[in-house]
Amino acid sequence: MPSIINEPKLDFKDVLLRPKRSTLKSRSEVDLTREYVFRNSKRTYTGIPVVASNMDTVGTFEMADTLAANSLFTTIHKHYSIDQWKEYGASRPESIFDHIAISSGISDNDWTKLTTVCDALPQLNAICLDVANGYSEVFVDFIRKVREQFPQHTIFAGNVVTGEMVEELIIAGADCVKVGIGPGSVCTTRKKAGVGYPQLSAVLECADAAHGLNGHVMSDGGCTNPGDVAKAFGAGADFVMMGGLFAGHDQSGGDLIEKDGRKYKLFYGMSSDTAMKKHHGSVAEYRASEGKTITIPYRGDVNDTVLDLLGGIRSACTYTGARKLKELPKRATFIRVTQQTNEMYT
């Protein structure tokens, strides 16, 4: 018989962080740098664990250069050619590779490209294995194969939304599991397939499962403002990945469009018609497109957005009395709310 989970599951919009007594004098005192030792690769990561998504409109080389200079992380999208990777590797300092991962799907072609690029660029030390549905057995097998071939590379893998599958991916060789099905700004999975899990609860539950095994989690999707990013960290995310918040900048991909004297940039989901036509020539008959294509107002240099984002996270830490980002989940108490903001002037 079909069953129903009656306990409510929550999204970022359903909660606020409760303020707490604090000895911090200013948000500038807050340290956002985290250091993690990954369970399987044994590598140490040091940086601000805010991540640009591996969408081709977001996870570009240009984005990586700018974010790495700010100590943020970029998962580079999987559509760069082997030659483009070689050129990138030859023209960048080795330090940048502490802040990027190469992305890959799980097809034979993906495997060939991944192994070729990793062999050609020994400084590349992190891999992001990305599929829409991280619950399939072939995905778990692929993680095992990548772990065997690259024992010392850090592996990010996803996406899933439940604790038992987080554990399975970590045991198969993932270091950090990506969490999120359906929360994305240009994702239509919840409408097309009726599948998903409210993101705040998914992060809370998956972080608990991962941390029990000394693994890590990356909250992926659903952050609509810096406050949501702070809530994801508060819920236990070790990394927070975003697409929409990094889209529309100089460093993002996507065509620049001018209309009535205003500038816009194209932004689309990686399983949208636009992406499928661009990368595969057409939409495969057996699958529905599960992503939107939109134009968003051009937002200039991503450095300004980074300042705004980090300012918001620092502010959340100050309000909750966390001196470091590391303390935020320990200090976080979420209040369920029926209204986020005063709507009078919106």
Considering the rule CB under 6 A, would residue 203 count as an interface residue with ligand 5GP?
A: no
In the block, which residue shows the tokens 């990548």? 146
Considering the rule CB under 6 A, would residue 30 count as an interface residue with ligand 5GP?
A: no
Q: Considering only the C-alpha atoms of the chain, give the largest distance between any 2 of them, rounded to a whole number of Å.
A: 59
- Which residue among 15, 17, 50, 55 contacts ligand 5GP (CB under 6 A)? 55
Residues in 78-117 that interact with ligand 5GP by CB under 6 A: none
Instruction: Using the minimum distance from each CB to ligand 5GP, give the nearer residue, 197 or 331.
Output: 197
- Which residue among 99, 220, 252, 318 contacts ligand 5GP (CB under 6 A)? 220
Across the chain, where does the E strand assignment appear? 15-17, 34-37, 44-47, 50-52, 73-76, 100-104, 126-130, 154-160, 176-179, 216-220, 239-242, 256-259, 262-268, 293-297, 334-336
Identify the three-state secondary structure at position 52. Answer: strand
- On the CB side of 243, CA atoms within 13 Å amount to 27
Cα dihedral: 336, 341, 342, 346 (round 10): -140
Q: Is 74 designated active site?
A: no
Q: Is 189 designated active site?
A: yes
Catalytic residue among 128, 176, 187, 206: 187
Identify the three-state secondary structure at position 58. Answer: coil
Considering the rule CB under 6 A, would residue 222 count as an interface residue with ligand 5GP?
A: yes
Q: Nearest CA to 187 among 131, 271, 104?
A: 271
Provide the minimum distance between the beta carbon of 58 and ligand 5GP in the complex, in angstroms, as a whole number.
Answer: 8
Give the angle subtended at the CA of 62 by the CAs of 56 and 68, to the nearest 5°. 110
31: how many CB neighbours lie within 10 A of its CB? 14
**With contact defined as beta carbons under 8 Å apart, do 261 and 274 qualify?**
no
Q: How many residues bind ligand 5GP (CB under 6 A)?
A: 24
- Site track for ligand 5GP across 167-196, x = CB under 6 A: -------------x---xxxx-x-------
Catalytic residue among 189, 274, 305, 320: 189
Provide the minimum distance between the beta carbon of 102 and ligand 5GP in the complex, in angstroms, as a whole number.
Answer: 15
- Which residue among 174, 242, 266, 276 contacts ligand 5GP (CB under 6 A)? 242
DSSP tag of 236: T
Residues with Cβ within 8 Å of residue 60, at least 6 apart in sequence: 76, 77, 251, 252, 253
Residues in 261-300 that interact with ligand 5GP by CB under 6 A: 269-272, 290-291
Which segments are annotated as binding site for K(+)?
Answer: 182, 184, 187, 190
Which segments are annotated as binding site?
Answer: 26-27, 78, 130-132, 181-182, 184, 187, 190, 220-222, 243-244, 269-271, 286-291, 315-318
Which segments are annotated as binding site for NADP(+)?
Answer: 26-27, 78, 130-132, 181-182, 270, 286-287, 315-318
Kindly list the residues in this chain that would bind ligand 5GP in the complex (CB under 6 A): 53, 55, 132, 159, 180, 184-187, 189, 220-223, 241-244, 269-272, 290-291
Catalytic residues: 187, 189
